[in-house]
Structure 1
Amino acid sequence: MIHQSFKRALDLLYPGRCPVCDGVVPVFEVRDGHIKRAGLIHRKCLGKIEYVRGATCAKCGKPLSDDTQEYCEDCRRTKHNFDRGYSVFAYRSISGSIYRFKYMGRQEYAEFYGWATGKLLGRKLKGLGIEAIVPVPMYPAKERKRGYNQAAVYAEAVSAQLRIPVFKGLVRRVRNTAPMKELDARGRRNNLKKAFIIAQNDVKFKCVLIIDDIYTTGSTIDEIAHEFRMAGVQKIYCLTLAIGQTT
Structure 2
Amino acid sequence: MANILEMNQLRKRYLDKIILDGFTAQITRPEIISLLGKSGQGKSTLLRILCRLEAQDEGETILHGHSYLTVDPKEWRKKICYVSQQSYMLPGSVEDNLRTVSQLHKTPFDMQLARELMISLNLDYLDWGKKSIDLSGGEKQRVALVRTLLLKPEILLLDEVTASLDMQSKHAVEKVLQDWQEQEGATFIWITHDIEQAQRMSHRVWFIEEGSLLEDSDGREFFENPSTVSARNYLQRVPQEESSCLI
- RCO higher in 1 or 2 (8 Å CA, sep ≥ 6)? 2
* Higher normalized strand content (fraction of residues): 2
Task: Decide: shared fold, TM above 0.5.
Answer: no
Q: TM-score, normalised by structure 1?
A: 0.29
When normalised by structure 2's length, the TM-score is 0.29
